């Protein structure tokens, strides 16, 4: 599955970790930017043991978010530091890990609801809740991994790097130096239809070669 990870370069070590170690960090839901992440409703009178089990289950899961879209201007603006960051193209496959799942996010204006009559769903509710977001985020076209691991590594590989329109030249060169030579790096530009398009391969003006 071809997906995209947008990253700011303000914390360059985070991007360096991806490119050098071929792995992606997974966060707890309460560390994500959506304050409604992980919320759900339950009917009055729902047993506390069910609610506690769902909350406990959510806290055990970690999320790594990707997008299906590399062309959306809003994604570049919001998640690639106003076009000063990068978009990393990845190939994501389902590895044979226990407690690991790849989900396509569903968007809804209503929270998932739980009741005593849904007790048979207690074990799957955490994953269902963390697979849904409010409709205002629909433009993200998000696919996420749910697991208990801090990093995802097996089953994910970097295929190319897209540089933002405003990425500083010194950071472009730094990305170029640390990225393995088999991974292509491209400039980007805005098309007439206001989409971010892949441009020519990047090469530093000073003729420096890759370190790896």
At residue 95, the pLDDT reads 66
Q: What is the pLDDT of residue 212?
A: 63
Residue 164: both structure tokens together? 């933002």
Is residue 202 a contact partner of residue 210, using CB atoms and an 8 Å limit? no
Cβ–Cβ < 8 Å for 23, 124: no
User: Strand, helix or coil at 28?
Assistant: strand
Instruction: Give CA separation, 45 vs 48, 115, 117, 122, 141, in Å.
Output: 8, 8, 11, 16, 36
**Mind listing the pLDDT tens digit of every residue in the chain (212 residues)?**
999 999 999 999 999 999 999 999 999 999 998 999 999 999 999 999 999 999 999 999 999 999 999 999 999 999 999 999 999 999 998 766 667 889 999 999 999 999 999 999 999 999 999 999 999 999 999 999 999 999 988 888 999 999 999 999 999 999 999 999 999 999 999 999 999 999 999 988 876 676 66
Instruction: Give the pTM.
Output: 0.91
Every domain of the chain and the residues it spans: 2-201
Task: Give the number of other Cβ atoms within 10 Å of residue 197's Cβ.
Answer: 15
Please check whether residue 164 is in contact with residue 198, taking contact to mean a CB–CB distance below 8 angstroms: no
């Amino acid at each position: 599955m071809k997906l995209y990870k947008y990253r700011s370069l303000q914390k360059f070590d985070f991007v360096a970790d991806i490119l050098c170690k071929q792995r992606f960090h997974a966060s707890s839901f309460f560390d994500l930017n959506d304050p409604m992440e992980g919320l759900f409703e339950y009917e009055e009178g729902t047993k506390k043991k069910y609610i506690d089990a769902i909350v406990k289950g959510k806290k055990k899961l970690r999320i790594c978010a990707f997008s299906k879209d590399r062309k959306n201007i809003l994604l570049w603006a919001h998640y690639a530091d106003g076009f000063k960051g990068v978009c990393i193209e990845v190939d994501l496959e389902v590895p044979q890990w226990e407690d690991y799942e790849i989900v396509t996010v569903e968007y809804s204006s209503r929270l998932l609801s739980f009741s005593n009559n849904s007790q048979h769903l207690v074990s799957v509710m955490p994953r269902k809740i963390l697979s849904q977001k409010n409709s205002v985020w629909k433009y993200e076209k998000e696919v996420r991994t749910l697991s208990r691991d801090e990093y995802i590594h097996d089953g994910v590989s970097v295929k190319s790097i897209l540089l933002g329109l405003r990425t500083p030249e010194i950071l472009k060169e730094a990305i170029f130096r640390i990225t393995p030579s088999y991974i292509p790096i491209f400039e980007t530009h805005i098309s007439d239809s206001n989409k971010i398009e892949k441009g020519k391969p990047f090469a530093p003006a000073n003729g420096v070669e890759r370190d790896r």
